Amino acid sequence: MAEFSGKVVIITGASQGLGEHLAVLLANLGAKVVLSSRRVEALETVAEKCRAKGSSGDIQVVKADVAKKEECEHLIAETKRLFTRVDVLVANAGINQRGNVVDIADTEAFRTVFNVNFFGAVDCIKACLPDLIESKGLIVGISSLAGRALVPGSSGYCASKYALEGFLNSLRAELKADNTGVDVLVVDPGEMYHEDGAGRQYVGTENQLMQAPLNRKGRQSSAAVAHKVLASMVKRERYFSASLGIKRWVPLLMNLVPAFVERKAIAFVSSKQYPDGAKPQAG
Ligand SMILES: NC(=O)c1ccc[n+]([C@@H]2O[C@H](COP(=O)([O-])OP(=O)(O)OC[C@H]3O[C@@H](n4cnc5c(N)ncnc54)[C@H](OP(=O)(O)O)[C@@H]3O)[C@@H](O)[C@H]2O)c1
C-alpha cells in the first residue's frame, strides 16, 4: 500500500468512528493526514494515535464545521498552507436523523442533515477540486446503504445520502469525460459500532443534536470497516459496500421487488427501540 506514502489526505469527521480509524491506518502508511471536525480536543487525541504511527509533522488538526461553506474553504486553504497540495479527500463527516416525517417539528431537521451530509461534502470537494485534478487524486464519499434503499424514521438522512451519491456519480462522469485522472469512490460502510463506545450523532425531532450508543448486534466495528474501505481506496474502486448478508443486495432488490424491501424495512425498524422514543434508523 505504498500508494499513500507521502500523499496529503484530508479526512472530515475524523474525531471518532470510521474517520478516526481511517486516519490511523493512513498515518501508518506514511500519509500526511489532516484531521478535521468540530471538536479539536477529540481530534488531538486521534492525532496522537496517528503520530504514534506516522511522522509527527505529517499529522495536522484543522477545526471545521462542514455545515458552513466558509469553514470547508478554510479547511482546504489551511491544508494547502501546511502541505501545498491535496491528493485525497475523504468526505466522511455525517449525522443521522430520527423521527417520522409526521412527528418532526419542522423540516429544519432535514436542512440540518443536508448541510452536513450533502453540502458538507460538496463544499469541501468544490474547494479542492482544482488541487485534486492537479494531483490526479481521489475523492471518497462515505454514504450509506440508506443512499440506495429506504429507511422509515430516517427519511431526511436517507435523502441526504441519495443526494450525495447522485452528486458523486455525476461528478465522476464529468471528471472522466475531461480525462482528469481523478477517481471517485462511493462507500456504504454497512452498519457499524464503535469499539470505544462512542455514540453516533443524529438530529432529533426538534432539530436538536443528539448522540446515542450503537448496538453491537449484527454490526461490524468501525475499525474493521476502515480496513475494508482502505482496501477499496487502494484499488480506486467506484463503489464499495461493507454491508453484510442480504443487505448487500438491497439496492438491486429495490429495483426488482420494492414491496418486499419495504415490508422488510418496516419490520426491521419496528423491531427496534431507542431511549429518546424516536423511531430508529438503519444504515
Ligand atoms: N455508524 C453507522 O452504522 C453508519 C452506517 C452507514 C453510514 N454511516 C456513515 O459513515 C460516516 C461515519 O459514521 P460514524 O458512525 O463513524 O459517525 P459518528 O460516530 O456519528 O461520528 C460522526 C463524525 O462526523 C463529525 N461531524 C458531525 N457533524 C459535523 C459537522 N457539522 N462538521 C464537521 N464534522 C462533523 C463528528 O465530529 P465532531 O463531533 O467532532 O464534529 C464525528 O467525527 C458518516 O457519514 C455516516 O453517515 C455510518
- Dump pLDDT digits (tens) for 141-161: 999 999 999 999 999 999 999
Residue 90 domain-assigned (yes or no)? yes
Ligand 1 centre to CA of 21 (Å) is 12
Spatial distance between the Cα atoms of 173 and 116, rounded to a whole number of angstroms: 24
Mean pLDDT of 124-142: 98
Q: Is the pLDDT of residue 191 over 80?
A: yes
Q: Is the pLDDT of residue 56 over 70?
A: no
Is the confidence at residue 275, as pLDDT, over 70?
no
What per-residue confidence (pLDDT) applies to 234? 97
Instruction: Output 269 or 76, whichever has higher pLDDT.
Output: 76
- Of ligand 1's listed atoms, the one at least distance from the Cα of 39 is 40
Give the pLDDT band (50/70/90) at residue 215: confident
Q: Is the model's pLDDT at 282 over the cut of 50? A: no
Collect all residues with Cβ–Cβ distance below 8 Å to 198 and sequence separation of at least 6.
16, 17
pLDDT band at residue 116 using 50, 70 and 90 as cut-offs: very high
Cα 51 vs. chain centroid, distance in angstroms?
23
Asked whether residue 278 is assigned to any structural domain, the reply reads no
Kind of pairing between the strands at 32-37 and 8-12:
parallel
Closest approach atom of ligand 1 to CA 92: 45
Q: Is the pLDDT reported for residue 273 higher than 60?
A: no
Residue 283 lies in a domain: no
Among 84, 93, 70, 90, which Cα is nearest to 10's? 90
Residue 43 CA: nearest ligand 1 atom is 40
Summarize the confidence of residues 248-258 as an average pLDDT.
Answer: 94
For residue 188, pLDDT beyond 70: yes
Structural domain includes residue 281: no
Count the alpha carbons within 13 Å of 225 in the hemisphere toward its beta carbon.
Answer: 25
The total of structural domains in the chain comes to: 1
Please tell me the distance between residue 144's alpha carbon and the centre of ligand 1 in angstroms.
Answer: 11
Report yes or no on 114 lying in a domain: yes
pTM over 0.85: yes
Position 141, amino acid: G
In this structure, which residue's CA is closest to atom 23 in ligand 1? 13
- What's the mean pLDDT in 99-112? 96
Q: 209 falls in which pLDDT band (50, 70, 90)?
A: very high
Burial classification of residue 277, based on how many CB atoms lie within 10 Å of its CB (0-12 exposed, 13-18 middle, 19 or more buried): exposed
Give residue 140's domain range.
Answer: 2-270
Q: What is the pLDDT of residue 13?
A: 98
**Residues tagged active-site:** 157
Q: Does some domain include residue 239?
A: yes
Residue 111 has pLDDT above 80, yes or no: yes
**What integer best gives the mean pLDDT of the chain?**
94
280 belongs to a structural domain: no
Cell numbers that stand for 60 in this block? 495536522
CATH number for the domain spanning 177: value is: 3.40.50.720
Name the closest-CA residue to atom 5, ligand 1. Answer: 283
3-class SS letters over 138-196: EEEEECCHHHCCCCCCCHHHHHHHHHHHHHHHHHHHHHHHCCCCCEEEEEECCCEECCC
Distance CA(104)–CA(15), nearest Å, equals 28
Q: How far apart are CA 240 and CA 68, in angstroms?
A: 28
Q: Beginning with the edge strand found earlier in the chain, give each strand of the sheet holding 96-97 in spatial order.
A: 96-97, 200-203, 209-212
Say if residue 219's pLDDT is above 60. yes
Which residues line ligand 1 at a C-beta cut-off of 6 Å?
A: 12-19, 37-39, 42, 65-67, 92-95, 116, 120, 142, 144, 189, 191-192, 194, 198, 200-201, 222, 283
Position 283 pLDDT exceeds 60: no
Asked whether residue 282 is domain-assigned, the answer is: no
